[in-house]
C-alpha cells in the first residue's frame, strides 16, 4: 500500500470515528478545509490527483494529534496506520528526502 492509500484510509478512519461519535456533519471536505483551507482536496485525490510533501505532512501531523479525534484520543487502529505512514512513535516521524530516510524529532515533543 502506498502513502496516498494509507492517507486515504487514515482519513476514512478519522471520518468514521467522528460519525461513530455522533457528528454526521463532519466530512473529508471538513478535514481538507481544517488543514489546508481546501475542501476539495480529498475529492481531487480520489480522482487521481496528487499532493505535495508539505501538504501531505501537514495532514499526517494533524491526524496524528490526539486533539484532532473525538474524545481527544487517536484510536489504536489509526495509530497502527500512522506507523505505516512513518510516524514511528509520539514526537517522531520518518523524513524522506531524495534517497535518504532519517528519523527526526518533531518540535514541541
Quickly state the pLDDT bin for 2 (edges 50, 70, 90): confident
**For residue range 10-47, what is the model confidence (pLDDT) as tens digits?**
999 999 999 999 999 999 999 999 999 999 999 999 99
**For residue range 51-85, what is the model confidence (pLDDT) as tens digits?**
998 999 899 999 999 999 999 999 988 988 888 77
Element (H, E) at 104: strand 100-105
Torsion sign across C-alpha atoms 58, 59, 64, 68: positive
Phi, psi (deg, nearest 5) at residue 27: -145, 175
Return the C-alpha cell found at 42.
480529498
pLDDT over 90, % of the chain: 54
The reported pLDDT for the residue numbered 62 is 95
The reported pLDDT for the residue numbered 98 is 61
Return the C-alpha cell found at 47.
480522482
- Which of 93, 40, 99, 21 is closest to 62 using CA atoms? 93
Positions of E strands within the chain: 92-97, 100-105
Contact yes or no for 45/29 (Cβ under 8 A): no
User: Cα separation of 20 and 1, whole Å?
Assistant: 26
The reported pLDDT for the residue numbered 68 is 95
Amino acid at each position: 500500500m502506498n502513502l496516498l492509500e494509507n492517507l486515504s484510509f487514515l482519513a476514512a478512519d478519522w471520518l468514521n470515528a467522528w460519525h461513530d461519535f455522533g457528528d454526521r456533519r463532519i466530512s473529508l471536505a471538513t478535514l481538507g478545509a481544517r488543514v489546508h483551507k481546501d475542501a476539495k482536496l480529498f475529492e481531487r485525490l480520489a480522482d487521481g490527483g496528487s499532493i505535495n510533501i508539505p501538504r501531505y505532512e501537514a495532514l499526517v501531523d494533524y491526524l496524528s494529534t490526539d486533539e484532532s479525534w473525538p474524545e481527544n484520543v487517536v484510536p489504536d487502529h489509526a495509530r497502527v496506520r500512522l506507523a505505516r505512514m512513518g510516524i514511528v512513535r509520539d514526537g517522531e516521524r520518518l523524513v524522506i528526502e531524495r534517497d535518504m530516510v532519517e528519523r527526526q524529532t518533531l518540535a514541541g515533543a
